[in-house]
Structure 1
């Protein structure tokens, strides 16, 4: 008979991450295009997704802090199943797709912050707090691997069979519901949930942001710049139809290998250097990689896709480890939801703006501009984050005295 414990939670959460976010539906832009949606309609649907995410991100995190992590994980997968059904039912209807995007955003919101909080609190309960960076890197490796594996598989469905990927997603979501049932809710969460009210959560988050404004600024800055670092990943999808199905799968497979290697490096590098020190360097390298778009060849595009994606994958677990250490347990999921909401706000502005640049300036020129912006931003970040690091260190010294 299966006995729940906190060490098993980590393995189960890896399974949840694997099946919940299998990248089998990664080519949703192509799917919508093949079903009659124009580029501006696709951009509008993406905005609907992120607008919903902005509205619901913090309330969903508050639900996790008020009730249980498992409840949010259940709701996430139920919404994921509903979204897949709506995408299949759309048949070229913009408004059905819009509803699917709303429900998909809810699925994302319910999981966002909750999974990371569940893993962190489970590690603490299991006496593995000091190993959290390694655990976080492992989870990031699973996330990168599963997204890339799904994308590799989806590459074989690109030419007219992408609807099958949503059937696969429904099946994997059902598996996640079972894995979630097997999890053990952290006792620290269970002890506090009875007396923690929504009002108290809001007050605690507000007090945390007031007490530590430098942390809040760091969260905002990392998401805005991080969003720019992701743009090639999203818009390179429009170049994929020029490749054969097997070529697409090979590109994604190699990308997966590089990303997994990147998160492995993160577990080593993050022990020696903080995210504040590494971020300007990674931004500079990403900007320089974007500038290679100048050559405009398919091989160069693939190289830019691989390197920029790997650099972002390297940063995420290191930042997550640094952030988790600074968050109070009783509002951990809510604060992580605040962080995720910042990404959605950035996407609402940057995603359509990048699309507009590509439409009017062309793919190459648009990413030359973005590359220059990132290179210039990296030099500013060296000075800004140096001061921010000092402020955060001073704040920690005051807290622990």
Structure 2
């Protein structure tokens, strides 16, 4: 008979990550385009997704800190299932898609911060807190692998069968719910007589930022630049439709292997170097890659996509590990949600701005412009690195 334990939580969180975020719906932009949505409408839907996420991030984190992590994870999967149903029912109806995107944002909100907090507290309860970077890298590797493997599978559905990808996601979310039910809630939540008040949680977050303003600035700066580093990943998707299905799947498979390798490398290098030390280098390298977009060569675009995504995959576990040790347990999910909120706010600004630039000056010139910005900022980050430390 299966016995709940904190060590089992680590494995279960990895398995839940696999089923919850299997990237089978990665080609959502193509799905919407094939169902009659214009790029303008798609941009509005994506903006609505991130606006919903922005508004809901901190409240969802507070719920996790006040009540239980598992409840948030259950709600995450329920929202994902409802969102998939709406995307299937939409059939070209903008407003149904809009509601589906909102529910999809909530599915990410309820998981965002919560699963990381659950992992850290489980490692802590198991007496393996010093191994958290390895555990988080393990879960991140699964996350990177499953997102890309899902995209590999989705590549075979690109030409007229993308509806099937949402049915698969519903089934996988149901499997994730079973795994969540097998997890053990951290002791510090079970033993306290009553939940920490909402005011106390918010006060802890505010006090943390007041006592350490460089943390606040680091979160805003890192998330803003991470969004710019992700732009090629999103907009390159529109270039893929001209390729046959097997080539799309091959690209996704190579990306999966590279991202898993990046996460493994992060588990080693992250023990020696802090995120704040590595970040300016990664920003600069991504900027240099973006400059190569001026060649307008499909092969170069492919290299930019693979390497830029790998650099981002390398940074995330190191960043998350450094952040976890800086925040209190009772406000852990809330603080992580604040960080995710900064990412959503940046997406609301940068994503449509990049789209408008592509419409105005073209794909290659847009990424030339973004590349120059990243290179300049990387130099400024190197000069100001001592402040963030």
Instruction: Tell me which interval the TM-score lies in, with the shorter structure as reference length.
Output: over 0.9
Give 1:386 deviation, angstroms: 2.1
- Residue matched to 1:394: none
1:234–1:291 distance in 2 versus 1, CA, 3 Å: same
1:96 has 2:90 as partner: no
Partner of 2:136: 136
String of CA shifts for 1:347-387, please: whole Å, max 9, x gaps. Answer: 00000000001111111110110111101110001012222
Match of 2:23 in 1: 23
Give the Å deviation of 1:210.
1.2
2:307 maps to: 307
Report the equivalent of 1:117.
Answer: 117
For the 8 Å contact 1:276–1:386, the answer to whether it is kept is no
TM-score by length of structure 2 reads: 0.99
Equivalent position of 1:277 in the other structure = 277
- Separation in 1, partners of 2:317, 2:374: 21
CA contact (8 A) 2:214 2:387 kept: no
Give the aligned partner of residue 3 of structure 1: 3
Please give the alpha-carbon distance, in whole angstroms, between the structure 1 residues aligned to 2:388 and 2:260.
30
User: 2: distance between equivalents of 1:275 and 1:2?
Assistant: 38
Q: CA RMSD in A?
A: 0.8
Q: Which residue of 1 aligns with 2:82?
A: 82
TM-score under structure 1 length normalisation: 0.96
- Equivalent in the alignment of 1:364: 364
1:392 counterpart residue number: none
Q: CA–CA distance in 1 between the matches of 2:313 and 2:57?
A: 22
Unmatched 5+ residue regions in structure 2? none
- The aligned residue for residue 60 of structure 1 is 60
Cα distance in structure 2, aligned partners of 1:38 and 1:249: 25
Aligned-pair CA distance for 1:388: 1.9
Structure 1 residues 239-281: Cα deviation after superposition (integer angstroms, max 9, x where no partner): 0011100000000000000000000000011011110110000
SS in 1 for 2:37: coil
Residue 38 of structure 2 is matched in structure 1 by 38
SS of residue matched to 1:157:
coil
Q: What is the CA–CA distance in structure 2 between the aligned matches of 1:274 and 1:196, rounded to whole Å?
A: 32
Q: For 1:9 and 1:65, locate their aligned partners in 2 and report how far apart those are by CA, in whole Å.
A: 18
- In the other structure, the counterpart of 1:146 is 146
**1:70 aligns to 2:70 (yes or no):** yes
1:106 is the counterpart of 2:106: yes
Distance 1:193 1:299, change over 3 A: farther
- 1:193 is displaced (CA, Å) by 7.0
| Secondary structure of residue in 1 paired with 2:196 | coil
Quick check: 1:290–1:367 contact (8 Å CA) kept in 2? yes
Q: Which residue of 2 aligns with 1:161?
A: 161
User: Against the structure 1 CA distance between its residues 318 and 88, is the aligned structure 2 distance closer, same or farther, given a 3 Å change threshold?
Assistant: same
- Corresponding residue number in structure 1 for 2:203: 203
1:189: how far off?
2.3
- 1:18-69 Cα offsets, whole Å, 9 max, x none, are 0000000000000000000000100000010011011110000000000000
Confirm whether residue 258 of structure 1 aligns to residue 258 of structure 2.
yes
Q: Secondary structure at the match of 2:353?
A: helix
- How far apart in 1 are the matches of 2:41 and 2:385? 38
Deviation at 1:199, TM superposition (A): 1.5
Work out whether residues 258 and 306 of structure 1, in 8 Å CA contact, stay in contact via their aligned partners in 2: yes
8 Å CA contact 1:35–1:91 kept in 2: the answer is yes
Say if 1:65 and 1:193, in contact at 8 Å, map to a contact too. Answer: no
SS of match in other structure, 2:156: helix
2:380 aligned with 1:349: no
Where do residues 217-296 of structure 1 align in structure 2 (5 Å cutoff)?
Answer: 217-296=217-296
CA distance in 1, matches of 2:274, 2:19: 31
How far residue 191 of structure 1 moved from its aligned partner, in angstroms, is: 2.5
The match for 1:13 is 13
> What CA distance in whole angstroms lies between the structure 2 residues aligned with 1:300 and 1:156?
23
1:208: how far off?
1.3
CA distance in 2, matches of 1:59, 1:193: 22
Q: What is the deviation of 1:203?
A: 1.4
